[in-house]
Amino acid sequence: MPASHDVPLERITSNPDGRFGKPCIRGHRITVQEILEWLSSGASQQQILDDYQHGAARFSGSLRLCR
């Protein structure tokens, strides 16, 4: 698994008209804050990916940013 700084930041977007301008995973309405909250409450990266299988390939790289 590459270090978190190897994951391109363009996978994170921010739009003032969506999700109150909070940074989100590109192509998803999942905020970076939500991911960090799930991880801090004990969820593993794999558990989060299992819950969002429809975008797992793009989403998994973004999860590395939150480690």
Q: 8-43 pLDDT, tens per residue?
A: 677 888 888 888 889 988 888 889 899 889 989 999
Q: Please report, for the domain that includes residue 45, its CATH number.
A: 1.10.10.10
Residue range(s) defining the domain that contains residue 30: 4-65
Instruction: Give the chain's domain count.
Output: 1
- pTM strictly above 0.75: no
What CA–CA distances, in Å, run from 4 to 8, 24, 30, 65?
Answer: 9, 17, 19, 5
Residue with the two structure tokens 């970076």: 32
